[in-house]
Structure 1
Amino acid sequence: MSIFASKYWNYIPEQDPVKAQGLAQALSVAPEIAALLVQRGVDTPEAAASFFHPSLRQLPNPLLMRDMDRAVSRLARALQEGEKVLVLGDYDVDGITAVATVMSYLLPLFGAERLRDYIPDRYTEGYGISAKAIDTAADNGFQLIIALDCGIKAVEQVAHATSRGVDFIICDHHLPGDELPAAVAVLDPKRADCAYPYKELSGCGVGFKLMQALGEHLGLPVAPLHDLLDLVTVSIAADIVPITGENRILAAHGLRRFNEDAHLLRPGLAALRELATLREGPLGISSLIFGFAPRINAAGRMGDARRAVAMLLAPDQQEARYTAEVVDQMNQQRRGSDQHTTQEALDMIAGNPDLQNARATVLYKADWHQGVLGIVASRCLDQYYRPTVILTQRDGKATGSARSVAGFDVHEALEACAPLLDQFGGHRAAAGLTLKVENVPAFQRRFEEVVAGTLTTEHLVRPVEVAALLPLSRVNEAFFAELRRMEPFGPGNPNPVFASQQLVAVPNSARVVGQGHLKLRLAAADVSGPVVDAIGFGLANYLPEIEQGQPFSACYTVELNEYRGQRNVQLRLLDVRWE
Structure 2
Amino acid sequence: MAAATQGSRHPQVWQLPPACGEDPLAGVPLPLPLRAVLARRGLNRAQVEELLQMPPLPEATEHFPQLAVAVRRLRRACDGAEAVAICGDYDADGMTSTALLIRALRALGAHPVAAIPSRMDDGYGLNPGMVERLHGEGIRLLVTVDNGVSATEALMAAAQRGMEVILTDHHTLPSPPPEALALIHPATTPEASPYRGLAGVGLAYVLGHALAQAMGQLEAIETARDLFCVGTIADMAPLTGANRSWLRQGLATLHRSRCEGLRALQQLAGLEETPLRADAIGFQIAPRINAVGRLGDPRLVVELLTADDPGEAIELARQCDALNRQRRELCDAIEAEALALLDADGDSLAPFLLLAQGHWHHGVIGIVASRLMERFQRPVALLAGEGEGRLRASVRAPEGFAVDQALTTCAEHLERYGGHPAAGGFTVRAEAVHALHDQLNGLALAWQQSQPLGQPVRPEALLTLDQIDRRFWQQLLALEPFGVGHRSPVFWARDCQVLEERRLRGGHLRLSLRQGEARCEGIAWRWESPGPVPERLDLAFRVGLNRWNGEERLQLEILALRQHHPEIRLQRAKQTYVCRRCGEQQLELRNPSGDRIHAHRLPNGAIRSDDCRAEHAYVAGLLQDAAIGLGLQP
Whole-angstrom distance in 1 between the partners of 2:377 and 2:49: 40
Letter matched to residue 475 of structure 1: I
3-state secondary structure, aligned to 1:20: coil
Confirm whether residue 379 of structure 1 aligns to residue 375 of structure 2.
Answer: no
Residues 228, 9 of structure 1: CA spacing in aligned structure 2 closer, same or farther, 3 A cutoff?
farther
Q: Which residue of structure 2 lines up, in the alignment, with residue 9 of structure 1? A: 14
Contact 1:190/1:199 (CA < 8 Å) preserved in 2?
A: yes
**TM-score of the superposed pair, with normalisation by structure 1:** 0.90
Shift of 1:410: 1.7
Contact 1:406 1:459 in 2 (8 A): no
For 1:292, the equivalent position in structure 2 comes to 285
Residue of 253, 256, 262 corresponding to 2:252: 256
CA deviations 1:285-327 (Å, max 9, x no partner) are 2221221222212222212100111011110210101111112
Going from structure 1 to structure 2, the CA distance change for 1:437 and 1:5 (only over 3 Å counts) comes to closer
Of the candidates 520, 538, 555, which is equivalent to residue 511 of structure 2? 520
Bigger shift: residues 416-425 or 14-23: 14-23
SS in 1 for 2:171: coil
TM-score (norm 2): 0.83
With 470-479 and 238-247 compared, the bigger mean Cα shift is at 470-479
Deviation, 1:543, is 6.1
The 1-side partners of 2:258 and 2:42 are apart by 33
**TM alignment of 1:184-199, pairs within 5 A:** 184-191=181-188, 196-199=193-196
Distance (Å, rounded) in 2 between the aligned partners of 1:206 and 1:242: 14
Q: Does 1:569 align with 2:554?
A: yes
Q: Distance in 2 between matches of 1:373 and 1:297?
A: 13
> Contact conserved, 1:66 with 1:196, CA < 8 A, in 2?
no
Letter in 2 for 1:557: R
Residues 1:471 and 2:459 are matched in the alignment: no
Q: Which amino acid aligns with 1:570?
A: Q
8 Å Cα contact 1:497/1:556 also seen in 2: yes
Greater Cα offset, 187-196 or 462-471 = 187-196
- Corresponding residue for 2:400? 407
Greater Cα offset, 293-302 or 137-146: 293-302
2:545 to 547, 553, 560: 560
- The CA distance in 1 between the partners of 2:463 and 2:311, in whole Å, is 49
Residue 14 and residue 66 in structure 1: after superposition, are their counterparts in 2 closer, same or farther (change >3 A)?
Answer: farther
**Deviation of residue 522 (structure 1)?**
2.0
- Residue 331 of structure 1 aligns to a residue whose secondary structure is helix
CA offset digits 1:13-61 (Å, max 9, x no partner): 45574431132xxx3x3233333344455533x6545423447x43643
Corresponding position of 2:208:
211
Q: Mapping of 1:3-152 within 5 angstroms?
A: 3=8, 5-13=10-18, 17-23=22-28, 27=29, 29-40=30-41, 43-44=44-45, 48-54=48-54, 57-58=56-57, 60-111=59-110, 114-152=111-149
When structure 1 is superposed on structure 2, of 93-102 and 296-305 the one drifting more is 296-305
User: What's the CA shift for 1:483?
Assistant: 1.1
Q: 1:425 and 1:459 mapped to 2: Cα distance? A: 28
Match status 1:534 vs 2:522:
yes
1:279 positional shift: 11
The C-alpha deviation readout for 1:332-354, integer Å capped at 9, x for no partner, is 22222222222222211111238
Greater share of helix residues, 1 or 2? Answer: 1
Deviation at 1:239, TM superposition (A): 0.8
Q: Which residue of 1 aligns with 2:337?
A: 344
Following superposition of structure 1 onto structure 2, how do residues 537-548 of structure 1 map, counting pairs within 5 Å?
537-539=525-527, 541=529, 544-547=532-535
Distance 1:253 1:9, change over 3 A: farther
- Aligned-residue Cα RMSD (Å) equals 2.5
Maintained 8 Å contact 1:66/1:193: no
Aligned-partner residue type, residue 554 of structure 2: V
CA positional deviation for 1:80:
3.3
SS in 2 for 1:242: coil
AA of the residue aligned to 2:199: S
Segment drifting more, 342-351 vs 97-106: 342-351
In 1, Cα distance between equivalents of 2:168 and 2:191: 13
DSSP-derived class of the 2:511 partner = strand
In the superposition, relative to structure 1, how do residues 326 and 18 fare at CA in structure 2: closer, same or farther (>3 Å)? closer
Distance of 2:453 and 2:356 partners within structure 1: 23
Q: Residue 503 of structure 1 contacts residue 552 of structure 1 at CA under 8 Å; is this kept in 2?
A: yes
* In structure 2, C-alpha distance between the alignment counterparts of 1:521 and 1:302, rounded to whole Å: 39
Provide Cα deviations, 1:134-188, integer angstroms capped at 9, x if missing partner.
1112111111100000011223321210101111000001111122111001111
Structure 1 window deviating more from structure 2 (187-196 vs 515-524): it is 187-196
CA contact (8 A) 2:374 2:398 kept: no
Structure 2 distance, partners of 1:43, 1:265, is 39
Q: Please state whether the residue corresponding to 2:187 is helix, strand or coil.
A: coil
Task: After superposition, give the CA deviation of every residue in 1:261-293 in whole Å (9 maximum; x if it has no partner).
Answer: x23352111111222346996532222122122
Q: CA deviation at 1:232?
A: 0.7
What is the CA distance between 1:435 and its match in structure 2?
1.5
Equivalent in 228, 238, 243 of residue 242 of structure 1: 238
How far apart are the structure 1 equivalents of 2:450 and 2:504?
33
Deviation digits for residues 504-531 of structure 1, max 9, x if unmatched? Answer: 223xx2332334333222222xxx3322
Q: Is the 8 A contact 1:393 1:437 kept in 2?
A: no
Counterpart of 2:70 in structure 1: which amino acid?
A
Whole-Å separation in 1 of the counterparts to 2:512 and 2:365: 39
Contact 1:175 1:191 in 2 (8 A): no
Tell which deviates more after alignment, 262-271 or 408-417.
Answer: 262-271
1:235 is paired with a residue whose SS is helix
CA distance in 2 between counterparts of 1:194 and 1:162 reads 31
For 1:422 and 1:281, the matched residues in 2 are separated by 49
Q: Matched residues in 2 for 1:109 and 1:43: separation?
A: 44
Deviations 1:235-257 (Å, cap 9, x if unpaired)?
Answer: 11111111111111122222123
After alignment, is 532-541 or 244-253 more displaced? 532-541
Q: Distance in 2 between matches of 1:280 and 1:217?
A: 35
Indicate yes or no: 2:510 matched with 1:510: no
Deviates more, 1:291-300 or 1:96-105: 291-300
Identity rate, percent: 32
2:342–2:349: 8 Å Cα contact kept in structure 1? no
The 1:350/1:265 distance shift into structure 2, 3 A limit, reads: farther
Partner of 2:480: 487
- Contiguous gaps of at least 5 residues in structure 2: 566-634
Letter aligned with residue 505 of structure 1: V
Alignment correspondent of 1:233: 229
Distance 1:564 1:488 in 2: 25
Which residue matches 2:608? none
Do the aligned partners of 1:128 and 1:150 also contact (CA within 8 Å) in 2? yes
Whole-angstrom distance in 2 between the partners of 1:194 and 1:12: 31
Return the offset for 1:225.
3.1
- What SS class does the counterpart of residue 458 from structure 1 fall into? coil
> CA separation in 2, counterparts of 1:217 and 1:14?
52
Question: How far is 1:562 from its partner?
Answer: 2.5
User: Cα deviations across residues 428-464 of structure 1 (Å, max 9, x unaligned)?
Assistant: 1110101122212221222112211222363763333
The more displaced of 313-322 and 294-303 is: 294-303
Distance of 1:541 and 1:457 partners within structure 2: 27
Q: Which among 454, 460, 472 is matched to residue 461 of structure 1?
A: 454
In structure 1, stretches of 5+ residues that fail to align are none
In structure 1, the residue corresponding to 2:24 is in which secondary structure?
A: helix
CA distance in 2, matches of 1:345, 1:418: 25
Larger Rg: 2
Query: What displacement does 1:193 show?
Result: 7.5
User: Over residues 470-498 of structure 1, what are the superposed CA-to-partner deviations in whole Å (9 max), with x where a residue is unaligned?
Assistant: 23321222211211111111111111111
| Aligned counterparts of 1:336 and 1:530: Cα–Cα separation in 2 | 40
